Amino acid sequence: MKLFTRKKPPLVGIDISSSAIKLLELSKTGDHYRVERYAVEPLPQNAVVENAITDVEQVGAAVDRALKRSGTRCKNAAVAVAASHVITKTITMPSGLGEAELESQLQLEADHYIPYPLEEVNLDFEVIGPSDANPNEDDVLIAACRKEIVDDYVAVTQRSGLLPAVVDVESYAVESAYTQIAQHMPGGGMESTVAVIDFGATTTHVNVMHNNRSVYTRDHAFGGRQLTEEIQRRYGLSYEEAGLAKKVGGLPDNYQTDILHPFMEAMAQEAMRALQFFYSSSPFNSVDQILLAGGCAQVPGIDELIANRTGVTSAIANPFTSMSIASRIKPETLSNDAPSLMVACGLALRSFDE
């Protein structure tokens, strides 16, 4: 199973997060993309824990429901494992090697970088291009993930009758989706440093882009489940009832002041903390913009609050701004879900790999 795989269209992007299955299908005409189908299907609590699938049957059943709701006929799927489960390393190799020779050499080199027996991992590579240090060498990205992690993602897709054509890495999928946003920035995003902060259910994923390439990733143990659990505790609801009330409303008047506003302040503190970690572990001391992704980015006013607290221009991530939308999809619904679909979008874009 390859982490970087050549185009096998058409395929559907399936993001398996800790709280939901997010499925997306795109089409392309010329240089223009269109959103054909998508679905968001909630997952039972603890079906995915610490970025790993713990209940293949429940996750597979949720994928089945998402496929049915979306109406997609794609039989190939792209899924992604969390960056925290993947070891990546950029190494240099002599230019001009054939693929078989390069693969053989990398098998030998990988032993120096992978802290597991090679028979226990799925390993793949991608030639990035000529090395800046030596024009006679190429930079090659190698990536490895333990087979037990990948096998669960493969099992989920195969259970639903899909072919797992691509197994990607979440941070690379976000980078791919980010290029759809960067094209609307001054200079197409070049010479800019942008922090994509994805507030998920249990984890906040930070992915900083410079010149449209990911230069830093880090996970923080903070997410929207804390808000759901506080609603559950305060109002005596089940976890599912609390999650639904958080999305559709209907909570008592004191919800905004007593629960939501403190949570928003906690989000802003987490964003400030994420930036400080980035500055302290990289050559950068500033970012030009923050893009907010994940389910919590749908909280009204959170972009303004984070901009005020961090002093950095903040906006809600929407990779579909320049895409057309199939008539079967409600634009407002897609716009609301867009911040949660960054990974799914990046995976769906793999259909059009050269």
Report d(CA 270, CA 309) in Å as an integer.
11
Give me the pLDDT at residue 240, please: 87
Q: Domain holding 111: CATH number?
A: 3.30.1490.300
Give residue 230's pLDDT: 96
**Residues 101 and 249 occupy one common structural domain:** no
In Å, what is the CA distance from 183 to each residue of 162, 180, 212, 214? Answer: 32, 6, 10, 16
Domain that holds residue 103: 85-146
Same domain, 103 and 128: yes
Q: Do 67 and 197 belong to one domain?
A: no
- What pLDDT does residue 247 have? 85
115 and 214 in a single domain? The answer is no
Q: What are phi and psi of 195, to 5 degrees?
A: -95, 115
Q: Are 107 and 256 within one domain?
A: no
Residue 332 sits in the same domain as residue 297:
no
Peptide bond into 186 cis (omega under 30): no
Same domain, 178 and 194: no
The predicted pLDDT at position 202 comes to 93
Tokens of 53: 């699938």
* Same structural domain, 258 and 283: yes
**Residue count (the chain):** 354
Instruction: Give me the DSSP letters along 237-282.
Output: --HHHHHHHHHH----TTHIIIIIHHHHHHHHHHHHHHHHHHHHTS
Q: Are residues 132 and 168 in the same domain?
A: no
Q: Which of 198, 201, 169, 146 is nearest to 81 (CA)?
A: 169
Which pLDDT belongs to residue 6?
Answer: 52
Same domain, residue pair 210 and 105: no
CB-based contact 126:91 (threshold 8 Å) = no
pLDDT, tens digit, for every residue of 3-53?
A: 555 544 589 999 999 999 999 999 999 999 999 999 999 999 899 998 999
pLDDT at 81: 96
CB 216 within 8 A of CB 279: no
Residues 166 and 261 in one domain: no
- Tell me if residue 3 falls in helix, strand or coil: coil
Instruction: Report which of 168, 166, 175 is spatially closest to residue 143, judged by C-alpha positions.
Output: 168
Given this model, what pLDDT does residue 105 score?
87
- Interatomic CA distance for residues 27 and 323, integer angstroms: 10
Question: What residue ranges of the chain have pLDDT lower than 50?
Answer: 7-8
* Model pLDDT, residue 7: 47
305 vs 323: CA distance, rounded Å: 28
Q: Into how many domains does the chain fold?
A: 3
Gap between the Cα atoms of 209 and 146, Å rounded: 26
Q: What is the pLDDT of residue 97?
A: 87
Q: Give the CATH number for residue 258.
A: 3.30.420.40
Tell whether 212 and 306 lie within a shared domain: yes
Is the separation of the CB atoms in 52 and 61 below 8 Å?
no
